[in-house]
């Protein structure tokens, strides 16, 4: 339900933020 979604919670899930990937071998 869109009205219950938080925009910041959504965008914080971007793969672009997943800096953990830098540490994957």
Residues that bind another protein (CB under 8 A): 2-23
The two tokens of residue 15 are 């793969």
Q: How far is the CB of 18 from another protein (least distance, A)?
A: 7
Contacts of 15 (CB under 8 A, 6+ apart): 21
Q: How far is the CB of 3 from another protein (least distance, A)?
A: 5
| Phi, psi (deg, nearest 5) at residue 9 | -65, -40
Q: How far is the CB of 11 from another protein (least distance, A)?
A: 5
């Amino acid at each position: 339900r869109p009205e219950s979604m938080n925009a910041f919670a959504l965008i914080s899930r971007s793969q672009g933020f997943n800096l953990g990937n830098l540490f994957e071998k």
